[in-house]
Amino acid sequence: MKSGFVGIIGRPNVGKSTLLNAMLGEKIAITTEKPQTTRNTIRGIYTHYAEAEDEDDVQIVFIDTPGIHKPRNKLGEYMTDSAIATFSEVDAIIFIVDDALSKGPGDKYILKLLEETDTPKILVINKIDQMEPDAFAQIYREYDETGMFAEILGTSAKDGTHVDEVIRAAAGFLEEGPMYYPDDIVTEDPARFIVSEIIREKILLYLQDEVPHGVAVEIETYEEAEDITRIGAVIYCERKSHKGMIIGKGGRKLKGIGKSARQEIEALLGTKVFLETWVKVRENWRDSDIALTNFGYRD
């Protein structure tokens, strides 16, 4: 069996988590149109058994990372540092872009970081369904001229276009190794973490631009019974005004968030779920070492 670890990096909102979900054929990472949706590194496990004699069994542990950006608070520092830390811990790096290198400083900054590592690199140009051929050609040419990438591929992670090619390219850098996880496991993240992420995703989707990313979700209670799972979750925000926005008039917005999250959690767990949510204010938690540790953003 060929096995190993592959990091997925890029600017915020280029489609890293969408690509991970597409490669696994299952949603394990939340996705929204908002930048910095992913805050933690998430491991997705892809296992494939050879269908022909000249093929190898493969297990790839994909590591989805937060978007690399210029931090504005301690949470941002944690997110960027955790992404950069994967560079030297993996067998290959998938760098996702969706625009020309000449269009902005974000990708240039990441490219400079990548120059400092010998880890093999694959460039994935995402969102090709939204690009004109000339735009794709320009992106391809600019990155190809750097001479840093073993392969350059175009995909639409949202539609699943050429996702198999990305998997094939990643597998090409793996060597003979052990099966790290059972073949029926797609993530090592505990259910409590995934549940908290689902709730946070619904908050981002329901609130649109009303509340910034100063929201954290903490699972206070998680009780599994034979026919139902009871979950108590606290939604933390940084301002009293944000608390009112999350709850909404007559509690309607919070009820909508809870209902949408509960339905997805039930599908995930395969059981009935009783979900209770509360909203609390914790000012400036994104710059608090204690809060970041409590919310799982720091060891």
**Confidence at residue 289, expressed as pLDDT on a 0 to 100 scale:** 87
CA-to-CA separations, 74 to 18, 84, 168, 197, 214, in angstroms, rounded: 26, 15, 37, 20, 12
Q: Rounded to a whole number, what is the distance in angstroms from the first to the last CA of the chain?
A: 33
Spatial strand order in the sheet of 228-237: 215-224, 228-237, 272-281
Alpha helices in 145-297 (DSSP H): 163-171, 191-207, 240-247, 252-269, 289-294
**Confidence at residue 79, expressed as pLDDT on a 0 to 100 scale:** 79
Q: Is the dihedral of CA 37, 46, 125, 140 positive or negative?
A: positive
Band (pLDDT 50/70/90 cuts) for residue 31 is: confident
pLDDT, average across residues 2-16? 93
**Confidence at residue 214, expressed as pLDDT on a 0 to 100 scale:** 85
Would the pLDDT of 166 be above 90? yes
pLDDT, average across residues 237-259? 93
What's this model's pTM, rounded to 2 decimal places? 0.83
* Burial degree of 125 (CB within 10 A; 0-12, 13-18, 19+): buried
Would the pLDDT of 70 be above 80? no
pLDDT, average across residues 124-140? 96
Q: What would the two tokens of residue 180 be?
A: 């790290």
**Confidence at residue 283, expressed as pLDDT on a 0 to 100 scale:** 92
Query: Which range (185-194, 210-219, 247-256) has the least confidence?
Result: 210-219
**Residue with more model confidence, 233 or 85:** 233
| Share above pLDDT 90 across residues of the chain, in percent, rounded to a whole number | 65
**Confidence at residue 293, expressed as pLDDT on a 0 to 100 scale:** 86
**Residue with more model confidence, 207 or 261:** 261
**Confidence at residue 209, expressed as pLDDT on a 0 to 100 scale:** 64
Band (pLDDT 50/70/90 cuts) for residue 210 is: low
Would the pLDDT of 299 be above 80? no
**pLDDT one-digit tens code per residue, 140-162:** 999 999 999 999 999 999 999 99
**Confidence at residue 207, expressed as pLDDT on a 0 to 100 scale:** 83
- Domains of the chain, with CATH numbers? 2-176 (3.40.50.300), 191-294 (3.30.300.20)
Residue (of 148, 110, 294) closest to 220 by Cα position: 294
Query: Which range (31-45, 129-143, 168-182) has the least confidence?
Result: 31-45
**Confidence at residue 212, expressed as pLDDT on a 0 to 100 scale:** 56
**Residue with more model confidence, 297 or 264:** 264
Average pLDDT across the chain, whole number: 90
